[in-house]
Amino acid sequence: MPASRDADDVQYNNSEILDPRIRQRLKHDAQGLVAAVIQQYDSKEVLMVGYMNDEAVRRTLTTGRVTFWSRSRQEFWRKGDTSGHVQYVKSFNLDCDGDAILVEVDQVGAACHHGTRTCFLSGGPLPVVVGTRSDEEKSI
Amino acid sequence: MPASRDADDVQYNNSEILDPRIRQRLKHDAQGLVAAVIQQYDSKEVLMVGYMNDEAVRRTLTTGRVTFWSRSRQEFWRKGDTSGHVQYVKSFNLDCDGDAILVEVDQVGAACHHGTRTCFLSGGPLPVVVGTRSDEEKSI
């Protein structure tokens, strides 16, 4: 198991480009992107999923605001610039293999451009067969 | 804003293949996949991110267990089959444009194959500049 990294242990230099030590930990897709899950820091609602390239990661780490790379528009997109629905960064974690990011934010207003608090409220639920733990699994 | 869909409103037929009405709502990437965020239903921890093709979506909706498509191994992967760390499905939501899924689950044991409860605890935090709401934004 990789050692848990404490945010205060290491000093990175993201002043011009994303620090190469961070870049090396990212596992980019064919478009150079990593999926970013955006979660409200206090209520823990999952607000949306966006994508970041290295520069979007750098801006998100260094400016207090979440920046994405828009796959459809092929441009940087700082959440809230047109809508006012800003995402203030509270924490930033990589996953175990570097192909996903979890950003905890304070979301001003609606995260979804359709006006709902989260994009998953806008899309809505599908009916599922619900699974339940076995008796043996209840203490795990 | 799209009407919020109630899971009880529509009857889908996922018995052989994913119902075409669901398939049409998915926005697949070039590999035919959609990103799936897996969240513990009660604590709201974000456990991991995986990817699903149409058949993995169908299995997840109909079996009570989360099934992914492994991009590295190019095969279906039912979480917990080798580790015992099963994910029991509690709910399934699409996002507004159908390119992300949020599955609430009951996770038995560790979600991460490195043994931590979530894959983001294994990857660990990076230092961030924390952003804060302006006075005007405090009531939004």
**Are the beta carbons of A12 and B127 closer than 8 angstroms?**
yes
- Which residues in chain B have their CB less than 8 angstroms from residue A51's CB? none
What three-state secondary structure class fits A121?
helix
**Hey, are the CB atoms on B96 and A108 less than 8 Å from each other?**
no
CA distance A81 to chain B (A): 14
Nearest CB neighbour to A7, from listed B106, B125, B140? B125
Whether A97 has a binding-site annotation, put simply, is yes
CA distance B50 to B68: 6
Q: Looking at the complex, does the CB of residue A114 fall below 8 Å from at least one CB of chain B?
A: yes
pLDDT at B31: 93
Max Cα separation, chain B? 54
Nearest CB neighbour to B90, from listed A30, A92, A130? A130
Q: Looking at the complex, does the CB of residue B20 fall below 8 Å from at least one CB of chain A?
A: no
pLDDT at A120: 97
CA distance B53 to B36: 10
**Hey, are the CB atoms on B35 and A12 less than 8 Å from each other?**
no
pLDDT by residue for chain B (140 residues), tens digit each? Answer: 344 455 556 799 999 999 999 999 999 999 999 999 999 999 999 999 999 999 999 999 999 999 999 999 999 999 999 999 999 999 999 999 999 999 999 999 999 999 999 999 999 899 999 999 999 999 88
Q: Is the predicted pLDDT of residue A2 greater than 50, yes or no?
A: no
DSSP A48-90: EEEEE-HHHHHHHHHHSB-EEEETTTTEEEETTTTTS--EEEE
Domain with residues A29-123, CATH architecture: Roll (3.10)
Q: Which residue of B has its CA nearest to A136?
A: B108
Best of B13, B15, B54, B95 to disrupt the A interface (most A CBs within 10 Å) is B95
Does the ipTM surpass 0.90? yes
CATH class belonging to B20-122: alpha beta
CA distance B53 to chain A (A): 16
CA distance A86 to chain B (A): 9
Nearest CB neighbour to B95, from listed A2, A10, A119? A119
